[in-house]
Amino acid sequence: MTRPLLRLISTPLSHFGRKPQALLDLYKLNYAFIDIGNVALTKTPSEAGNHPLMKVPVLEYGDMWMVESDHIAGYIVDLVDSGKLSNSSNCSSKSSNNNSNNNHNNSNSRSNSGGDGNNDKQIDRYRVWTRDVFDLNARAIMNGIMTDEVKVIAAGRHQVPVREYSYFNKCYDSVKNGLQWLENNHEKLSSSSSSSSSSASITYRDIHLVCLYEHLLYYDFVPLSPYPQLKYTVDSVNYRCPTLQQTSPFVVKPK
């Protein structure tokens, strides 16, 4: 039995974790998904893949250890583009019972099929390493929305009455303002999906948007009806990339 060299430590509902996980799936890489359970309630780094901040995702690749979802995504792209990993080459030859994460409650390795229907070898085909100003702004705003959402959800899990605090109400406002910015920029947001500079039918920015939107929807965090163009864009990405739905919160944890 082979043990995947790649291990993604996360939780199935983590939208930050879903971003690099979706890339692993699109590249059809073999990896172990280590579910640490309720990350908000972790008390030591060892419960969260040794992340000192007790957050997920964490990626392990052999002896390599990495935190921060977008850095992990870039690292995955480099592994693939450098030829170090392909959908059949990233398994170690022997199984190992040296599981340093045996306090985690679920580990299953998966090898995925599917993808976005394009198998060519273009470098950085999902445009993870973009330098495009709009892409970077959109991704920064999406990360900010996700961060503020997590603050409120995590506080709720610690029984904090979030609506009584202006700090958390500002988080809600930040999420709504961020969504409005994305909605206002929906033309740019949807257009680059079909950009000729990428051979793939979707980009990492599209993945990011789907992870953000479906997480907000799953947690019913704010009403999403004021952002119809975002819904349209998300539906369109999902239509073009069915692989993404494997990691949808509604699929991994049906309500």
Ligand X SMILES: N[C@@H](CCC(=O)N[C@@H](CS)C(=O)NCC(=O)O)C(=O)O
Binding stretches for ligand X (CB under 6 A): 14-16, 39-40, 55-57, 68-69, 150, 154
Q: Which is nearer to ligand X, 70 or 183 (CB)?
A: 70
CA-angle at 109, arms to 87 and 149, nearest 5°: 100
Angstrom distances, CA of residue 226 to CA of 120, 150, 171, 176: 38, 21, 18, 9
Asked if 31 and 24 count as a contact pair (C-beta separation under 8 A), the reply is yes
Residues 6+ apart with CB under 8 A from 232: 186, 190
Q: For the residues of 148-179, what is the DSSP string, one character each?
A: HHHHHHHHHHTT--GGG-HHHHHHHHHHHHHH
Least separation in angstroms between residue 105's CB and ligand X is 16
Q: Which is nearer to ligand X, 68 or 116 (CB)?
A: 68
Q: Which is nearer to ligand X, 39 or 91 (CB)?
A: 39
Least separation in angstroms between residue 139's CB and ligand X is 10
Any idea how long the chain is? 255
Least separation in angstroms between residue 196's CB and ligand X is 29
Least separation in angstroms between residue 15's CB and ligand X is 6
Half-sphere exposure of 63 (CA within 13 A, CB side): 0
Q: Which is nearer to ligand X, 37 or 115 (CB)?
A: 37
Least separation in angstroms between residue 12's CB and ligand X is 11
Which position has the token pair 């030591």? 44
Strand spans (E) along 11-105: 30-35, 58-61, 64-67
As a whole number of angstroms, the distance between CA 63 and CA 81 comes to 20
Q: Which is nearer to ligand X, 101 or 190 (CB)?
A: 101
Q: Which is nearer to ligand X, 3 or 7 (CB)?
A: 7
- Supply the DSSP symbol for 31: E
Least separation in angstroms between residue 152's CB and ligand X is 11
